Amino acid sequence: MQNDFELLASDQHSKARRGQLKTAHGAIDTPAFMPVGTQGSVKAVSPRELSELNAQIILGNTYHLFVRPGLDVIKHFGGLHNFMSWDGPILTDSGGYQIFSLAKLRKITEDGVEFQNHIDGARAFISPEIAMEIQAALGSDIAMVLDECVPYPCEYDYAAKSAEMTARWAKRCKTVASTVSAEKTSNALRTAHSIARQLLFGIVQGGAFENLRKQSAQAITELDFDGYAIGGVSVGEPEEEMMRAVESAEPFLPTDRPRYAMGLGTPPQMLEMIARGMDMFDCVLPTRLARNGTAFTAAGTLNLKNAEFALDKRPAEENCACTACREFRRGYIRHLIKAEEILGLRLITLHNLHFYLNLMNRARIEIESGAFDQFRKAFVAEYKTRDAVAANDAA
């Protein structure tokens, strides 16, 4: 398989990597954070603002877009990029996480997943083949294979059978992705960008069991995908087990392909995952917590709803270059949040996304300069110190 990933630098004291992944809508410098745009929108932020934040790639969700607005609507607008007016790369998740999160509404068989959608309860079915056809119609730059994300805790036998089925599904996904013809894709999708192919990533599963993670990684890499994701992490397990799941799979992933840790995480978690050889991340925390009034800083999180910030003239974070910090102060943002003004959550969202994206840029710079391990340790220590102080103050 053609390799669109170039490894540019490696850290001598960890497994951190600096690379570049080429896609139909542009190159992605790694390590990279992908803002989550599940329904074709990163919550509270426009595509123009994402570009201004230097977001390189965003994530969309196959299940949610399939359910609403539906493929006919997106095809009518010429694909997901045109529909949402975003000209950068898009990665679409296959819907595997929804198999996990909508457990009460679905039935899993070897053929695929039958479920009641969360909008109106109508019955639908997604198989590996259908997941690939949906993502081809969406026109995403990176498609994900259909997988089953097992819950935590999970019995060994179930996790083993699930990982084996995920490997069989992955093989079916690759077969379909290799044979989907241009005739099956709407003419509206044939843009100047469509000369480049849609990349396909396999997904490693195996729950919290080290040998299953190893076996799953070996089975998935044998299928030769453009990149590899580690799924089934950050589903309620302790952080130590999350790290162990990645450490168990990473040695069996090709060094010349990108590695994607799905659904992660806090800023320290991402740096720790970079140190363990991961290249790509997505997480709802920067946007979700913003809507609750929480801002990320290098010293930990700030709940700007707290009364202590009412008269605070400082920005959310000193020396931050984002629009919110350049133009507004903590006291004003707190007022907006307490008054339930939309501007407040938008400002914190912009700041949080800037923080996450800037952290990845800093990680790339530190890897290139050979100082990543020192940077990681210092950042994590300061961040945890702040959290401990906050917890102690609360007590």
Annotated catalytic residues are 93, 282
Distance CA 249, CA 231 (A): 11
Distance CA 167, CA 218 (A): 10
Q: How many residues does the chain have?
A: 395
HSE of 160, CA atoms in CB hemisphere, 13 A = 4
Contacts of 23 (CB under 8 A, 6+ apart): 4, 57, 89, 141, 142, 196, 199
